[in-house]
Amino acid sequence: MPPPLSEQAELRRLWQSLSPDARAQLWTAHRDDLLAAGLLSPSVKQVAADRGSGKHGAEDIEWNDWVTRTKMQALVVLADGGDLNDASRHMKHYLDNTGTPMELPVDKMLTDNRGFQAHVDQLLLQDNE
């Protein structure tokens, strides 16, 4: 059972005050305890979906929705053929509408985009100088 809200707020404050390395070490050693304490539970009040939303994937699509979907599926094929495999994979995952999480290989993102990698490297150098 999660602790009272006042304790959760204090835990969140302490968690946010930790360095990323300290968070990683704490997470590795006490993941189940942190989750049980509600530390990473949403802090924003969740409201029920409005009655018009229906169940996931329950509504039939209209003509303009079908046209848009067909265009996006064509873009998936073009992106895959144009060596934009990650973009293609991401759009296909979105269009499949399964609701399942997608694994994003962060290390691959860094090696694929040299500008992004240089930016991250510069940030790390600044932090460690």
Strands (E), 7-98: none
Query: How many residues are listed for the chain in this entry?
Result: 129
- How much is the pLDDT for 74? 93
* pLDDT averaged per 10 residues, the chain (length 129): 72 85 87 80 65 58 83 90 84 86 81 82 80
Distance in angstroms (rounded) separating the CA atoms of residues 26 and 65: 46
Whose structure tokens read 């602790």? 3
Contact status, residue 97 vs residue 57, Cβ threshold 8 Å? yes
- How much is the pLDDT for 52? 52
- What's CA 123's distance to the chain center, in Å? 22
Contact status, residue 76 vs residue 95, Cβ threshold 8 Å? yes
Contact status, residue 88 vs residue 76, Cβ threshold 8 Å? yes
Does this model's pTM top 0.85?
no
- How much is the pLDDT for 71? 93
Contact status, residue 11 vs residue 39, Cβ threshold 8 Å? yes
